[in-house]
């Protein structure tokens, strides 16, 4: 258990030190990554990109029926 | 109903996907290639113990890190678009697309959270060999990650290893092996990653040349040119070979795209490969599609026949053969394919009706049909043709593909020359004296990106009107959503990606100007 705790602590310290001593460009790109991920997941995914079939139908059976209707109903 | 879908919705959805994919691809190839260049450089450092190689590796690793970080998650938007804009397609492909993308997602997550961190945070904290192993694993992992995306993409160009289930309207994977070893996937993977290697090599040589022009970091620049020159030359030769192999496969599985790339309207034996040519309107039409003449043509005699059939007198079908059919050469007409596709679709309609009426006997018979190999090979494989009114609708935009292909190939050969000259001037110790070459190397950086993007334009525009070759045209794949919503997100993406690109270029330029830390 102590070994695992020690290993976990080492891993944590590895990342902690890495982020703490990061260079100018490292800080800049991390700011960009955070902003970008927020825009992609909190803005785009939530408000602009709902999964059309998941949100429009309750079950896979309904989704299948809808797509079959789309595939067979054309022309 | 699909007939109610506004054509502008299809076009805006396509434009949005193209925009996202083009921007995403600005970041990917540099990661694919530069990761290996870093691995080579660090290997030399570990083997020689020369601190200069560590400095060189760390400098290029900085530029790799900027590109990697800015590019992270830009591909995830493509997956959002599948669910929102292309829902019929997403449902229809079933787990065939999901499985490779899941593998890619897991691989990318572990790669990014562990080995990339060791690469950047691990200098002087982990052993030299462990650090080197991490750098190699990032390179191998990034390229394997690309493999799974390309396997999924290749399935769309040559759908194999699946059976369509009429109950769920989904394709179910029947052979993972067939999906992964799809000949298109093998060609596409080797061609795509080697194109990334070439782009990264041009990038390294271009920036190194800029240092030499500025009389800065000249030792770093020369050593970088050596590594990138060797890697680039080997990769560009491999790129040409994989391109040749891709063309051979393409001629078999997507003959219409192949004929469009050559603007070959009439099939012929002893067909030459057009090296340079200008398309003009011949005044003739295939349906509503213009037929083009190739003027100012320079061609290599018989090469197209050799490339496609392995024989100088081999027959290469033209667009007219492929649309109208050529019984002598065993080519079905599109009209026949439309009829066969309609039969397959009628069976799906019958299945739906039998299900609604609770007719178990008919359901069983029809389900058996969809599992029958004869029906699959002779009817279901043409399912998507049932959506066309006219045979000419299967012809993509010939000029876009014809010119894109030629510029891409021309640049590919130009890069072979560039790498050869880089190595020649390096060994003659005359890089500094050949300023023209140094400037040529600098301006080649955007040309490498151009060639890379044109490759995708040939691939994706060339397979129009299909989203899944022969099974599903793009207009059937699109979701019935509002065009306005797609337009809004199109412009949102334009702003987001342009901002990311500006951020990348500005941070990178600043780091290049700063140079390596002394």
What pLDDT is stored for residue A2 in this prediction?
80
State whether residue B7 sits within 8 Å of chain A by CB: no
Q: Is 80 exceeded by the pLDDT of residue B518?
A: no
Closest by Cβ to A67, choosing from B65, B92, B389:
B92
Chain A residue with minimum CA distance to B501? A32
Q: Is 80 exceeded by the pLDDT of residue B242?
A: yes
* pLDDT > 70 in chain B, percent: 98
Measured torsion, CA atoms of residues B81, B85, B91, B95, in degrees rounded to the nearest 10: -10
Stretch B379-390: mean pLDDT: 94
> What pTM was estimated for this model as a whole?
0.91
Residue B271 carries which DSSP code?
Answer: P
- Respond yes or no on whether the N-terminal peptide bond of residue B465 is cis (omega within 30° of 0): yes
Q: Is the distance from CB of B381 to CB of B243 less than 8 angstroms? A: no
Q: Is the distance from CB of B388 to CB of B473 less than 8 angstroms? A: yes
Residues in chain A within 8 Å Cβ distance of B479: 52
Closest by Cβ to A14, choosing from B88, B121, B481:
B121
A40-44, B225-229, B359-363 — which one is most confidently predicted on average? Answer: B225-229
- What Rg, from alpha-carbon coordinates, does chain A have? 23
What pLDDT is stored for residue A75 in this prediction?
43
Q: Is 70 exceeded by the pLDDT of residue B70?
A: yes
Rounded to the nearest angstrom, the minimum Cα separation between A7 and chain B is 14
Residues in chain B within 8 Å Cβ distance of A37: 73
Q: Is 80 exceeded by the pLDDT of residue B517?
A: no
Residue whose entry in the numeric block shows the structure tokens 């009439």: B266
Specify the pairing of strand B268-269 against strand B170-173.
Answer: unpaired
State whether residue B300 sits within 8 Å of chain A by CB: no
What pLDDT is stored for residue B145 in this prediction?
85
**Mean per-residue pLDDT of chain B:** 91
What pLDDT is stored for residue A37 in this prediction?
87
Report d(CA B478, CA B59) in Å as an integer.
45
Rounded to the nearest angstrom, the minimum Cα separation between A52 and chain B is 5
Residues in chain B within 8 Å Cβ distance of A53: 83, 87, 90-91
Is B481–A71 a contact, with Cβ atoms under 8 angstroms apart? no
First to last CA, chain A: 67
Q: Is 60 exceeded by the pLDDT of residue B412?
A: yes
Q: Is 90 exceeded by the pLDDT of residue B256?
A: yes
pLDDT digits (tens, 9 = 90+) for B305-319: 998 888 889 999 999
Helix (H, G, I), strand (E, B) or coil at B277: strand
Could you give the angle at the alpha carbon of B189 between the alpha carbons of B184 and B192, nearest 5°? 115
Higher-confidence residue of B447 and B117: namely: B447
Rounded to the nearest angstrom, the minimum Cα separation between A28 and chain B is 8
**In terms of C-beta density within 10 A (0-12 exposed, 13-18 middle, 19 or more buried), how is residue B114 classed?**
middle
Among B84, B234, B99, which Cα is nearest to B179's? B99
Helices (H) and strands (E) in chain A, counts: 4, 0
Chain B residue with minimum CA distance to A32? B70
pLDDT digits (tens, 9 = 90+) for B474-495: 999 988 888 888 888 889 888 8
Please report the DSSP string for B11-53 in residue order.
Answer: HHHHHHHHHHHHHHHHHHHHHHHHHHHHHHHHHHHHHH--HHH
What pLDDT is stored for residue B154 in this prediction?
93
Helix or strand run (H / E) with residue B467 = strand B466-468
Stretch B92-107: mean pLDDT: 78
Looking at this predicted complex, what is its ipTM? Answer: 0.85
Q: Is 90 exceeded by the pLDDT of residue B33?
A: yes
pLDDT digits (tens, 9 = 90+) for B153-208: 999 999 999 999 999 999 998 888 999 899 999 999 999 999 999 999 999 999 99
Confidence of residue B5 (pLDDT cuts 50, 70, 90): low
Residues in chain B within 8 Å Cβ distance of A30: 69
Please report the DSSP string for B288-303 in residue order.
Answer: TEEEEEEEEEEEETTH
Residue whose entry in the numeric block shows the structure tokens 């790129």: B239
Residues in chain B within 8 Å Cβ distance of A18: 117, 120-121
Q: Is 80 exceeded by the pLDDT of residue B94?
A: no
Is B84–A68 a contact, with Cβ atoms under 8 angstroms apart? no
Could you give the angle at the alpha carbon of B101 between the alpha carbons of A60 and B161, nearest 5°? 75
Measure Cα distances from B145 to B96, B115, B138, B280, B296 in Å.
Answer: 16, 14, 10, 42, 43
Confidence of residue B114 (pLDDT cuts 50, 70, 90): confident
Tokens representing residue B392 in the block: 């000419």
Q: Which of A16, A45, A64, A72 to mutate to test binding with chain B, by most B CBs within 10 Å of its CB?
A: A72
């Amino acid at each position: 258990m102590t070994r695992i705790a020690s290993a976990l602590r080492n891993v944590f310290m590895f990342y902690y030190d890495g982020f703490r001593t990061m260079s100018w460009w490292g800080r800049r790109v991390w700011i960009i990554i955070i902003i970008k991920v927020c825009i992609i997941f909190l803005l785009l995914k939530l408000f602009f990109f709902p999964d059309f079939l998941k949100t429009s139908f309750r079950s896979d059976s309904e989704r299948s029926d809808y797509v079959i209707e789309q595939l067979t109903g054309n022309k | 109903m699909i007939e109610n879908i506004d054509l502008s919705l299809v076009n805006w959805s396509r434009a949005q996907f193209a925009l996202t994919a083009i921007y995403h691809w600005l970041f990917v190839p540099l990661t694919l290639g530069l990761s290996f260049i870093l691995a080579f450089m660090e290997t030399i450092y570990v083997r020689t113990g020369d601190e200069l190689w560590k400095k060189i590796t760390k400098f290029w690793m900085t530029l790799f890190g900027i590109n990697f970080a800015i590019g992270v998650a830009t591909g995830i938007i493509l997956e959002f678009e599948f669910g929102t804009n292309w829902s019929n397609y997403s449902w229809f492909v079933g787990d065939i697309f999901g499985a490779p993308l899941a593998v890619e997602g897991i691989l990318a997550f572990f790669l990014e959270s562990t080995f990339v961190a060791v690469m950047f945070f691990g200098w002087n904290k982990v052993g030299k060999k462990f650090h080197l192993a991490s750098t190699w694993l990032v390179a191998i992992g990034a390229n394997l990650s690309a493999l799974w995306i390309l396997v999924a993409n290749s399935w769309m160009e040559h759908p194999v290893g699946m059976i369509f289930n009429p109950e769920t309207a989904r394709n179910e994977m029947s052979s993972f092996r067939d999906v992964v070893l799809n000949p298109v996937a093998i060609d596409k993977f080797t061609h795509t990653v080697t194109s990334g290697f070439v782009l990264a090599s041009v990038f390294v040589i271009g920036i190194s040349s800029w240092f030499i022009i500025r009389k800065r970091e000249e030792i770093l620049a020369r050593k970088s040119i050596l590594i990138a020159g060797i890697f680039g030359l080997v990769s560009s030769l491999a790129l040409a070979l994989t391109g040749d192999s891709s063309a051979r496969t393409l001629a078999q599985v997507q003959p219409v795209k192949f004929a469009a790339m050559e603007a070959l309207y009439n099939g012929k034996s002893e067909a030459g490969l057009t090296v340079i040519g200008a398309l003009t309107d011949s005044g003739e039409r295939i349906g509503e599609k213009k037929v083009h003449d190739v003027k100012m043509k320079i061609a290599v005699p018989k090469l197209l026949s050799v490339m496609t059939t392995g024989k100088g007198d081999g027959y290469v079908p033209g667009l007219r053969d492929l649309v109208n059919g050529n019984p002598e050469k065993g080519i079905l007409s599109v009209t026949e394919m439309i009829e066969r596709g309609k039969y397959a679709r009628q069976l799906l309609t019958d299945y739906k009706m039998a299900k609604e009426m609770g007719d178990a006997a008919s359901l069983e018979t029809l389900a058996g049909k969809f599992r029958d190999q004869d029906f699959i090979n002779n009817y279901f494989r043409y399912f998507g043709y049932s959506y066309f009114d006219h045979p000419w609708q299967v012809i993509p935009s010939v000029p876009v593909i014809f010119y894109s292909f030629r510029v891409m190939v021309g640049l590919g050969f130009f890069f072979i020359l560039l790498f050869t000259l880089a190595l020649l001037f390096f060994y003659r110790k005359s890089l500094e004296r050949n300023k023209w070459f140094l400037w040529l190397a600098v301006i080649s950086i955007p040309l490498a990106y151009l060639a890379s993007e044109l490759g995708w334009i040939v691939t994706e525009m060339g397979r129009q009107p299909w989203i899944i070759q022969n099974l599903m045209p793009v207009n059937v794949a699109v979701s019935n959503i509002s065009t306005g919503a797609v337009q809004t997100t199109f412009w949102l993406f334009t702003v987001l990606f342009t901002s990311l690109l500006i951020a990348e270029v500005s941070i990178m330029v600043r780091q290049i100007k700063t140079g390596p830390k002394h």
